[in-house]
């Protein structure tokens, strides 16, 4: 009798454990597939293809005087000398339509690379130097093997003629692939080969700093007040319930709040990281309050009594004993709250942080995007070159979030329960 019951109980337990393991395995498989696909498409986004061209800085063609200034450079036709350089490699190409196809191999933003070279070394004028010029996005992808050459010509973005040009250049060893540091330094662009996440990174950084500066002090102060000073009555209970509810409000509603209050009423500049950070801080605030209160609750009452017994005032007890012990837990919660804020998109769309911004923001009062918004923008884009950029940006944000969560775990393990 008893034995039978025992066997039944044991087998139920085994089934339950098996079920748990299967579900964990499934979760891991999904995660692995997700990460694999993202990394597979994204890694190439960190690389950029170049062509080595002998650029002749022809002062006559560029219409530059001997002692030219930066303003002269602005109007000089650097793209033209890049084109000339690539024509020179194919002396037999005479037809202007063929030349057009040829010059489309290099990026239409090559002029920037050439201009910078001259700006950095004025002695280059009327000299010939070998420079690495970025390829047009299509040929960048082709170089990385991401495009199918065997498709019929109508179905691809490059002609047979261009393909033969490209293969000849490749055979001459002029085409190379390098890690693209500029990806982290430049803002958005219409040309995938030039677009970077620098602006979005700065935007995310600014809004995070603002979010932290607002939500952390207010959150900690609120938590201390509610936990240590506030009388326990219906009103404070009502506030407590509402703070917990705040954490569950869909983020887009915070965006609408920000739009109507911060932008329409207070007339803060639209689409800036200042407004973005403030809106995100509304979302982070309940997370910080809840984690800080939990951390304060975890401080043993015996320590508070010890301090009170020595004649410390309530405020002294809070600042000398409770807060130092509650801070690690609070910071862990704050990091997790901020990590959530970094990945937030919807409220930022509402307050207009969704524009095409080429320049890097220098202050929180400038129009900017953020990482997830940039991902959203690129994912929307029709151009094929943005696919790898999107995935690359996703990798960056994932690494970012991973680092933050890792920091939170480290923090927790290091400072947890020292008393």
Query: Binding string to another protein for residues 42 to 81, with x set by CB under 8 A, is what?
Result: ----------------------------------------
Each as own residue / partner, the long-range contacts of residues 318-324 (CB below 8 Å, 24 or more positions apart, any chain) are: 318/224, 318/228, 322/224, 322/228, 322/296, 323/220, 323/224
Q: Which of 120/302 has CB closer to another protein?
A: 302
Q: Which of 217/300 has CB closer to another protein?
A: 300
Q: Which of 312, 346, 349, 379 binds another protein (CB under 8 A)?
A: 312
Distance CA 285, CA 55 (A): 56
Q: Which of 145/309 has CB closer to another protein?
A: 309
131 DSSP β-pair partners = 53
Q: Which of 51/224 has CB closer to another protein?
A: 224
Instruction: Identify residues 248-307 at the interface with another protein (CB under 8 A).
Output: 300, 302-303, 305-307
Could you tell me how many residues of this chain bind another protein (CB under 8 A)?
19
Question: Applying CB under 8 A, which part among 149-157, 255-263, 308-316, 354-362 lies near another protein?
Answer: 308-316
Question: Applying CB under 8 A, which part among 190-198, 203-211, 310-318, 356-364 lies near another protein?
Answer: 310-318
Q: Which of 4, 94, 414, 418 binds another protein (CB under 8 A)?
A: 418
Q: Angle at the Cα of 122 (from 116 to 123), degrees rounded to 5?
A: 130
Q: Which of 186/330 has CB closer to another protein?
A: 330
Contact 408, 335 (CB under 8 A): yes
Distance of CA 394 to the CA centre of its chain: 7
| Least Cβ distance, residue 312 to another protein (angstroms) | 5
Question: Applying CB under 8 A, which part among 75-83, 249-257, 319-327, 334-342 lies near another protein?
Answer: 319-327
Q: How many other CB atoms are there within 10 angstroms of residue 261's CB atom?
A: 15
Structure tokens, 266:
């207070």
| Least Cβ distance, residue 229 to another protein (angstroms) | 13
Q: Which of 321, 344, 350, 369 binds another protein (CB under 8 A)?
A: 321
Q: Which of 160/237 has CB closer to another protein?
A: 237
Q: Which of 171, 311, 380, 414 binds another protein (CB under 8 A)?
A: 311
Q: How many other CB atoms are there within 10 angstroms of residue 145's CB atom?
A: 9
Q: Which of 239, 252, 308, 360 binds another protein (CB under 8 A)?
A: 308
Q: Which of 99/412 has CB closer to another protein?
A: 412
Q: Which of 118/325 has CB closer to another protein?
A: 325
91 interacts with another protein by CB under 8 A: no
| Least Cβ distance, residue 232 to another protein (angstroms) | 7
232 interacts with another protein by CB under 8 A: yes
Q: Which of 65/311 has CB closer to another protein?
A: 311
Q: Which of 316, 359, 363, 413 binds another protein (CB under 8 A)?
A: 316
Distance CA 20, CA 42 (A): 33
C-alpha torsion angle, residues 119, 123, 125, 131 (rounded to 10): -70
327 interacts with another protein by CB under 8 A: no
Question: Applying CB under 8 A, which part among 266-274, 317-325, 359-367, 387-395 lies near another protein?
Answer: 317-325
Q: Which of 322/341 has CB closer to another protein?
A: 322
| Least Cβ distance, residue 306 to another protein (angstroms) | 5
C-alpha torsion angle, residues 178, 184, 188, 194 (rounded to 10): -10
| Least Cβ distance, residue 291 to another protein (angstroms) | 20
Distance CA 257, CA 274 (A): 15
| Least Cβ distance, residue 331 to another protein (angstroms) | 17
Binding site for another protein (CB under 8 A): 232, 300, 302-303, 305-313, 316, 320-321, 325, 418-419
């Amino acid at each position: 009798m008893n034995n039978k019951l025992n066997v039944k109980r044991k087998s139920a337990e085994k089934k339950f454990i098996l079920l748990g393991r299967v579900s964990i395995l499934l979760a891991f498989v999904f995660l692995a597939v997700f990460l694999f696909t993202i990394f597979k498409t994204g890694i190439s986004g960190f690389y950029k293809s170049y062509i080595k061209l002998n650029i002749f800085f022809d002062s006559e063609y560029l219409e530059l005087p001997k002692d030219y200034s930066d303003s002269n450079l602005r109007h000089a036709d650097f793209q033209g000398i890049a084109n000339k350089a690539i024509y020179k490699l194919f002396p037999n190409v005479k037809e202007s339509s063929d030349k057009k196809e040829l010059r489309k191999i290099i990026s239409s933003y090559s002029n920037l690379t050439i201009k910078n070279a001259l700006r950095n070394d004025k002695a280059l004028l009327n000299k010939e130097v070998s420079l690495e010029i970025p390829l047009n996005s299509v040929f960048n992808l082709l170089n990385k093997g991401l495009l199918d050459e065997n498709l019929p010509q109508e179905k691809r973005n490059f002609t047979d003629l261009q393909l033969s040009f490209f293969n000849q250049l490749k055979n001459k060893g002029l085409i190379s692939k390098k890690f693209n540091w500029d990806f982290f330094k430049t803002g958005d662009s219409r040309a995938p080969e030039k677009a970077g996440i620098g602006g979005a990174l700065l935007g995310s950084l600014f809004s995070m700093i603002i979010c932290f500066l607002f939500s952390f002090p207010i959150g900690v102060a609120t938590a201390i007040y509610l936990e240590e000073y506030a009388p326990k009555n219906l009103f404070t209970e009502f506030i407590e319930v509402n703070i917990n509810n705040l954490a569950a409000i869909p983020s887009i509603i915070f965006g609408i709040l920000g739009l109507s209050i911060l932008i329409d009423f207070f007339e803060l500049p639209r689409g800036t990281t200042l407004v973005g950070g403030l809106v995100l801080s509304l979302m982070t605030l309940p997370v910080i309050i809840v984690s800080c209160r939990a951390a304060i609750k975890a401080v043993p009452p015996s320590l508070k009594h010890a301090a009170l017994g020595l004649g410390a005032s309530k405020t002294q007890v809070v600042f000398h004993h409770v807060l130092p012990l509650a801070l690690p837990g609070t910071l862990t919660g704050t990091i997790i709250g901020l990590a959530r804020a970094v990945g937030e998109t919807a409220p930022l769309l509402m307050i207009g942080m969704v524009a095409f911004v080429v320049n890097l923001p220098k202050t929180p009062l400038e129009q900017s995007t953020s990482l997830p918004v940039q991902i959203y923008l690129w994912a929307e884009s029709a151009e094929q070159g943005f696919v790898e950029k999107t995935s690359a940006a996703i990798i960056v944000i994932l690494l970012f979030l991973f680092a933050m969560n890792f920091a939170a775990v480290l923090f927790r393990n290091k400072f947890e329960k020292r008393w």
